[in-house]
Amino acid sequence: MDWAYILMLFGIGFVGSAISGMVGIGGSIIKYPMLLYIPPALGFIAFTAQEVSAISAVQVFFATLAGMFAFRKGGYINKLLVITMGISIIVGSFIGGYGSKFLPNSTINLVYAILALIAAVMMFLPKKGDDVEDFTKVKFNKTLAAILSGIIGILSGIVGAAGAFITVPVMLVILKIPTRVAIASSLAITFISSIGSTVGKFLGGHMLLIPSLVMVVASTVASPLGAMISKKINTRILQWILAALIVATVVKIWFEILIQ
């Protein structure tokens, strides 16, 4: 076993998860370019976009599972919302996860580039407060919720992302769900989504066991640490730095796609 390789993977998982914990953005959006570009820069064999998205899918599965258990006692998870969006998102994420095996790496990178730009913008949108007191009587358009979550599932399944950074704004802005309910319920919904994308990636034959497990361990340690640090630093500055890095990565990906 190459311990330098293991340490490199752990470092990527740790740094990516810590940053995601600090700025409140999906870890897979940060770790995708790190997994894509850092290993070859350090002399290791490069992962393909297919492999990176498969590793991300497994990490997301465990991250959202842990987050869901942390929120389940708060009473904010809306079961009807989770069922409505969960059914269509698991179908969509399975289609995206399995269907990605038929896509060229450039297409997967393109989907990442689009989602990453959305994530960068979402970091700076103002967070709305709750405007209702009884969270058991939340009403929403079920058909619209199912359609939107299905689309989110397909896109996030392709790149192995959780999709929470899109799901939460969709709940807040379009479905008019109270903030606390949206955040808590999105964890359950994206956990369901991660099941579909993980199974899809596994059946697609791109699952890498050791890198996936290393990333899971690193994220388990680093995510809570990042959340703790965020309370003591100016995360706004960190958000700008991270947004700049994401945009630079997106430009690099677009450039590579265009020259091909």
Residues 145-150, mean pLDDT to the nearest whole number: 93
For residue 232, is pLDDT > 80? Answer: no
Q: Which runs of consecutive H residues, i.e. helices, occur in 124-208?
A: 142-159, 164-169, 179-204
Residues 29-36, mean pLDDT to the nearest whole number: 82
User: Is pLDDT larger for residue 136 or for residue 190?
Assistant: 190
Instruction: Compute the mean pLDDT over every residue in the chain, rounded to the nearest whole number.
Output: 79
d(CA 162, CA 20): 12
Per-residue model confidence (pLDDT) at position 74: 57
| Least confident residue range of 79-93, 114-128, 170-184, 239-253 | 114-128
Backbone angles phi, psi at 24, to 5 degrees: 70, 45
| Least confident residue range of 111-115, 130-134, 184-188, 212-216 | 130-134
| Least confident residue range of 30-34, 102-106, 163-167 | 163-167
pLDDT-derived band at 154 (thresholds 50, 70, 90) equals very high
- Domain limits, the chain: 3-259
d(CA 21, CA 63): 11
Residue among 52, 4, 45, 5 at smallest CA distance from 27: 52
User: Is pLDDT larger for residue 224 or for residue 106?
Assistant: 106
State the DSSP H helix or E strand holding residue 212, giving kind and residue range, or none if neither.
helix 209-230
Per-residue model confidence (pLDDT) at position 10: 92
Give me the torsion for CA of 208, 214, 193, 154, rounded to 10°. Answer: -50
10 Å CB burial of residue 118 (0-12, 13-18, 19+) is middle
Predicted model pTM: 0.72
Per-residue model confidence (pLDDT) at position 75: 61
Cα dist. 107→103, 127, 253, 260 in Å? 6, 32, 10, 12
For residue 131, is pLDDT > 60? Answer: no
